[in-house]
């Protein structure tokens, strides 16, 4: 019995080492997307944080021009590399987006004539933004 425990422990150790220094497991695009992102291409004086959760919900923290960060919540869906979504107030996203993720850099390219690119890097959303941000839509 003791030997069996040692064997299992050794296997677990090997498995964890493999995650850190060995070959990266092949993650799907959806798995890669499910984390927190921060905009790097700051256009139009905007600062955007997005988190995608694997239960199909998102949180969007945005500050445009000035003022406080505003929080938008909603749901998202990924079909192959095409990302669509809806805000909790019922409004659809303004566009669908083609998703590419390379070296922890997320590029969302609008799937329309304009093909606007928004670039994000993997980054934790600062707790002070999460704590102070309020939902945009009022309660009535």
Partner 1 sequence: MKTSHTILTALVLVSISCTKEISEYTPQVQEQHTLSAKLVGSCEGEPIPGTLLVRLDAGTVKTIEDGRFTEISKEVLPDIAVTSFTPAIPVKPKNMEVARKYGLDQWFVVGFDPQTRPETVAATMAASRRVRSIQYNRSVQPVWDGKAYPFKEVPVTKSSPAPQSESTITFNDTFAAHQWNLVNDGTIAKGSVAGADIGVKDAWRLTGGDPSVVVAVFDCAILTRHEDLVNAVWSNEAEINGEAGVDDDGNGFIDDKNGFNFVNCFAINADYVNGALNGEQVATIKGSALNSFAGSGHGTHVAGIIGATNNNGKGVSSIAGGTGNGDGVRLMTCQIFQGSSYCTDAQNAAAFIYAADNGACIAQCSYGNSNIITSDDLYINGGEVNGVNIKPSTLENAALKYFLDPANSNHESLVGNMAIFAAGNHQNPYSIYPGALPYVISVTAFRCDFMPAQYTNYGPGCKIAAPGGEVTELAAAGANADKYDYSTTILSTGVSGSATPSPGIETEKGKHYVYMQGTSMACPHVSGVVALGISYAKKLGKKLTREEMTSLLLTSVNDLDQYTAGTCYHNNMGTGALDAWKFLMAIEGTPSVMAEAGKAVKINLSKYCNAHDEYTIDIDEESRTSLGLASDPVIKDGYLEIQCNNIGAGKITLSAAVGKDTTTEDGIGEMKYSREISIVSRPFATDNGGWL
Query: What residues make contact with partner 1 under the rule CB under 8 A?
Result: 44-46, 48, 50, 60, 62, 64-68, 70, 72, 85, 87, 89, 91-95, 97, 108, 110, 112, 114, 116, 118, 134-140
> Smallest gap, in angstroms, from Cβ of residue 37 to partner 1?
12
* Complex with partner 1: residue 14 or 64, whichever CB lies closer: 64
* Complex with partner 1: residue 5 or 128, whichever CB lies closer: 128
* Complex with partner 1: residue 8 or 42, whichever CB lies closer: 42
Bridge partner residues of 82 (DSSP): 79, 98
Q: Other C-beta atoms within 10 Å of 72: how many?
A: 19
* CA gap 50, 53 in Å, rounded: 10
> Smallest gap, in angstroms, from Cβ of residue 62 to partner 1?
5
Q: In this structure, what DSSP letter does residue 92 have?
A: B
E strand intervals along 40-114? 46-52, 57-64, 70-79, 82-87, 97-102, 105-110
């Amino acid at each position: 019995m003791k030997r069996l425990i040692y064997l299992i422990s050794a296997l677990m150790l090997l498995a964890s080492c493999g995650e850190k220094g060995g070959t990266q497991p092949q993650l799907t695009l959806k798995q890669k997307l499910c984390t927190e992102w921060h905009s790097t291409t700051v256009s139009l004086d905007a600062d955007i944080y997005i988190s995608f959760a694997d239960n199909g919900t998102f949180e969007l923290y945005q500050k445009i021009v000035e003022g406080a960060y505003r929080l938008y919540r909603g749901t998202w869906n990924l079909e192959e590399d095409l990302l669509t979504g809806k805000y909790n107030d019922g409004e659809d996203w303004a566009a669908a987006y083609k998703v590419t993720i390379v070296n922890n850099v997320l590029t969302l390219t609008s799937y329309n004539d304009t093909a606007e690119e928004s670039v994000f890097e993997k980054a934790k959303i600062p707790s002070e933004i999460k704590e102070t941000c309020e939902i945009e839509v009022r309660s009535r």
